[in-house]
Structure formats: structure tokens, C-alpha cells
Amino acid sequence: MTNLPAHIQITEEGPREGFQIEPKAIASSDKIRLINALSQTGLSSIQVCSFVSPRLVPGWTDADDVVAKLDKREGILYTALWFNEKGLQRALAHKQTLTLTGTIHTVASEAFCQSNFNRSLELNRVAMVAQTQAHQAHNIEVNKISVMAAFGCNFAGVVPVEHALDAVRQGMSIADQCGARVQVIALADTMGWANPGSIERVVSGVRDQWPDIPIRLHLHDTRGLGIANAYAGLCCGVSRFDATVGGLGGCPFAARRVDTGVARGTSPPTRLAPGNIATEELVLLATELGINTGVDLDALIDCGKLAETIVGHSLPSAALLGGSLLSYRQ
């Protein structure tokens, strides 16, 4: 435990992740209600929406409306996600509210790149150069490399550390070519393959090569190892994490058909595996380890309960049921 950081920064991605995957329509007012509640918890960064095709992601048809109407609170970074020029244009319209930066997306598995983006890693490189330049043309700083499938892949199996490093190298090469300065390397366990050992190996490998660039972990709890993986990251000194309140979201790559008895009232007959790690479980872990998060855990748990009410079914987070330990200590 010697390398535990003194404090961590969490990016809350619940609204963006959660509301795009829910099968039923969520009212814009409910989305705003959750974002505003999250803004009161001490979280310093909240990803509030996706600017994506309403045809592909009907859950974010109202992205412009949500951003326009949320109560912006000073000191919080509100961010959004987009994948193309059209999305970028929509985001630019909200630059008074949103903090806009660009990301170079790379993939540690050729097979996943092909399956997810329908292009090879080499063509993804070409696309990312173009995307980086498009951002720069609008004076949007591109400062992050995000490696998808950094720990494993449903199509290629275990991803060797060297492939994850290759993906970071490709991102660095794109940044160099475009004159972008990389300030964070995000490692995403897109399909829930990581374990504490692979977290340690990949984080150590990246740090050996790029010792001065902070690492950010985007972890999924697909198979129940998410918080153990976060702990392994903390032990390596990682101090930046993505998470979703209540564990909002789900894994599009792992679902189970439910035949009998286990369907929840308002859920579809297919149950998705959990998606991102739950923010309140991460905050609870950090708090219990003496790591500062700046977040009011009880207020965050209340946000998770609000999220459950909004989506109309239970969410994966155990901390929503178990609660924090703060009240017992007082």
C-alpha cells in the first residue's frame, strides 16, 4: 500500500453513460435534476451528455437542451462526448458551459478496432490525425490519449502489455505529428478483462515509458472485479479515475438473456452486465483507505438513489444499499 496517492480526481460519467443505455426514455428534466444534484457533492468533473446521432443513440436526442438548462456551478468541469465533426459543432455551441478538449482514441486490439470502428488500427490513425486537426482548427486543445481494450478483448482475448504500449505510442505519434501536448493517458478496460495483476503490469509498463504523464483508469465492473482493479490502480499510485454514480450504464459486450423468475419489474428481458465502476464505491474505497476525494459520500449515495428512481430499476452499486460508514463513526 506504499504508493497510495494522497488524493484522487474522479470524472463522473453517470449521466452520459447511463442515459444513453437505458431502454426507456428519460425526461430531460430528470437528467438535469441528476446533474444538478451531482454538482452539489464535491465532484469536480462531470460528463453530462453525448453529442451523437439521435438515430444511433436516441437517449441523447436532447443533449443540447440538457446542457442549455443545467445549473452550472463554479469550479466544476462539465464535459461531453462526441465522435465526429457534427458532434464537435454541436459541442462548440455550448462552450460557455462545457469544457471542451479533444481525445486521441487508440485501441490495443486490432480485432476490436475493426469490430467497433469498422477500420484497421492504421486507418484509425489516419482518422485520429484528421480529428485532432479538426479540433485544433477550432482552438480546442487535444490533450488526452485514451486506449480502448487496454487489458483484453472479446475478439482477441488477453491483450499483451506490449499491445497496450503500442496503442499509447501510436497516440503519442499522432500528437507529435499534430503538435498536441498529451497531459493524460487513459487506459480503458472496455470489455471487463482487467484483473489486479494486469492493472499493475499495464500501468507499470506505461509509467516506465512515459513517467511524466499522469495515468487515468476507466474501469468496468463487468465481472465483479472493478473495485479490486481500482484498488490495484491506487496501489500503483494512479490518482485519476472515471466512474458512474450508482454504476449507471451497462456493458454492451456482456448481457444475459433472462428466461424466468429474475426479470425486474421495468427491465428488459435481457440484463446487461454492469458497466463502469460505481462512483460511490470508489469514493468509499478511497475514503476508507485515507485518500481524499473531495466528495461528500452520503450526498453522492443520495444521487445514486435518485438515479435509481429516475431509471426505474435498481442499479448495481452495493454501496447504495449498504450505505457509508460515516454515520456509525459519529
Q: Which residues bind a second copy (CB under 8 A)?
A: 1, 152, 154, 157-158, 192-193, 195-198, 200, 221-228, 230-232, 251, 254-256, 260-266, 271-274, 278, 280-281, 284-285, 288-290, 308-309, 312-314, 316-325, 328-329
Minimum distance of a second copy from residue 54's CB (angstroms): 26
Closest CB to a second copy among 75 and 265?
A: 265
CA distances from 281 to 73, 100, 201, 206, 317 (A): 24, 28, 24, 26, 7
Q: Which three cell numbers stand for residue 230?
A: 481500482
Give the start-end residues of each E strand in the chain: 9-12, 45-51, 77-82, 102-107, 142-148, 152-153, 157-158, 184-188, 215-218, 240-243, 251-257, 270-273
Q: How far is the CB of 115 from a second copy (least distance, A)?
A: 13
Of 217 and 251, nearer to a second copy (C-beta) is 251
By beta-carbon proximity to a second copy, the closer residue of 176 and 288 is 288
Closest CB 328 distance from a second copy, rounded Å? 5
Strand arrangement, sheet containing 240-243 = 77-82, 45-51, 9-12, 240-243, 215-218, 184-188, 142-148, 102-107
Per annotation, catalytic residue among 113, 178, 251, 303: 251
Distances (CA, A) of 102 to 25, 51, 262: 29, 14, 42
Which residue number, 140 or 228, has a Cβ lying nearer to a second copy? Answer: 228
Active-site residue flag, 153:
no
- Of 85 and 302, CB closest to a second copy: 302
Residue 210 Cβ vs a second copy, minimum distance, rounded to whole Å? 23
Q: How far apart are CA 49 and CA 31, in angstroms?
A: 9
* C-alpha atoms less than 13 angstroms from C-alpha of 272 in its C-beta half-sphere: 24
- State the nearest-atom distance from the C-beta of 290 to a second copy, in Å: 7
4-18 burial, b at 16+ Cβ within 10 Å, e below that, comes to bbeebbbbbbbbbbb
Residues with active-site annotation: 251
